Structure 1
């Protein structure tokens, strides 16, 4: 029997998709507390997967030159600049601000060498490879499929560009390429992991902010990391996307955050839009049968 959660969804999506003797589910754990924003992961992803360049666009307000996950950016390192409220002259200890969410107008304190008027939060974002993947539910051609590793991959040669998966993704990850209309996204380097290799982004990360491995092991490692940060005085550290009981059944790519999910542009309570489709179809079928029965009764009654 397949192990399921309280929403009758297989905890092992590969088994639920029909894979026999599937290997352990693989995924990403991204620890944003050690991300330095170098964008090596973006470059490695583009080089290995042959993803086209997006051109140079500094967006006019940030050092972030990609802005979001797109068909041409399968990894996106977000730069979140957070201003620190003005402080009294004696409040110059920058360690008070490390890992602490702040709000209010910018305020510069300390010396030129130790200015503490803002902080950068950085996060390398990617497709979440959801347990309950709405994109899989709505794809009419089978272009999207679940791999034996539990990941979700697009077969571009089968994609017809309908865009149904774009609106079905609760994270806004999937995007269509302008020149051909087909959708493209992270494959978790399916070709590499099938050969026993580490995905290009994790291989290139110099701080091990992006960690790859069996999902169960990553969740244990992530919980230990959060506990360590709490002990070090960073109570804001929390995990996002790790919980199998959330609205998408847990993510195959989850994160350690230092602030609320909304700060990073992530939905606080993601819900797969297609979760209630089976119930809806069942109710629609019952309603259709009732209408047909009513029509038959009315027709027979009218002949008397």
Structure 2
């Protein structure tokens, strides 16, 4: 399990969207203008080329008050990542920083990862090769792993002017998050730390002002046993079985070839003696 996490304190977010712009710029992602949908939210949700979105939710409190609830929505980088478990090509893995990343040299665009994601984050982008043939690749936030490898913070974290976004050592971040939660509960009694244990926690952890469902998040996502069994047991054993079968066939062919060679040599000796 990674020693680093990204922390999102939604109670500090003012909806400025600087994180969205920084993400687009750093990752060289194309703009995706959308028609006005009657909301101040700029995009309906995450796409293959929009890796983080500020969501806006109108929320009426139990005391009759009203709040705008903002959330920096992006990949949560799950410890038991549904996308990774669903991938048949081993194209998805977790780095030492806790970031779940995609190897595009291995990705075949099958879309199983899209179906496996607990949070509807990962999506497929369509490209064309030099001959004009279309192909697809899975894409999502990679926590700016290339920046982390060079001692830099994720682009979204660097752009955040309210300290809503923090990246650091897990132990330190969680300690500060729990201290912050105690203060936030004075205004938001339902405030909570969102780090779902049904998927062994995530490497993007939220402090939410209300229940996860208010933000469109599953209350208690669970790793699918069928995916875990298939990925961690059935697939490796299947590869071993194929490898053993191949080795057996090749060994049999080698033995058969050796016997033929030996028999030919014996026949030659018998013919010479005769």
Tell me if both proteins adopt one fold, taking TM over 0.5 as the criterion.
yes
Q: Distance in 2 between matches of 1:142 and 1:102?
A: 50
- TM-score normalised over the length of structure 1: 0.69
Cross-structure match for 2:265? none
Cα offset for 1:216?
Answer: 2.3
Q: Does 1:31 find its partner at 2:15?
A: no
Q: 1:280-299 residue pairs with structure 2 within 5 A?
A: none
Aligned pair partner of 1:266 in 193, 214, 217? 217
The 8 Å contact of residues 6 and 165 in structure 2, kept in 1 or not, is answered as: yes
Aligned pair partner of 1:188 in 126, 143, 160? 143
Cross-structure match for 1:95? none
Q: Which ranges in structure 2 are unaligned for 5 or more consecutive residues?
A: 128-134, 238-274
Cross-structure match for 1:65? 42
Cross-structure match for 2:112? 164
Aligned pair partner of 1:228 in 145, 170, 183? 183
- TM-score normalised over the length of structure 2: 0.76
Q: Distance in 2 between matches of 1:188 and 1:101?
A: 36
Cα offset for 1:170?
Answer: 1.0
Higher strand share: 2
Aligned pair partner of 1:47 in 6, 17, 25? 25
Aligned pair partner of 1:248 in 196, 199, 209? 199
Count of matched residue positions in the alignment of Structure 1 and Structure 2: 227
1:63 to 1:155, Cα distance in 2 relative to 1, 3 A: same
| CA root-mean-square deviation | 2.2
Give CA-to-partner distance per residue, 1:80-124, whole Å, 9 cap, x none: 022x4xxxxxxxxxxxxxxx4578xxxxxxxxxxxx6x4210010
Q: Distance in 2 between matches of 1:185 and 1:43?
A: 15
2:11 is paired with a residue whose SS is: helix
Cross-structure match for 1:119? 67
Cross-structure match for 2:159? 204
1:62 to 1:260, Cα distance in 2 relative to 1, 3 A: same
Q: Which ranges in structure 1 are unaligned for 5 or more consecutive residues?
A: 1-11, 13-23, 85-99, 104-115, 286-304
Aligned pair partner of 1:78 in 55, 64, 76? 55
Cα offset for 1:279?
Answer: 8.7
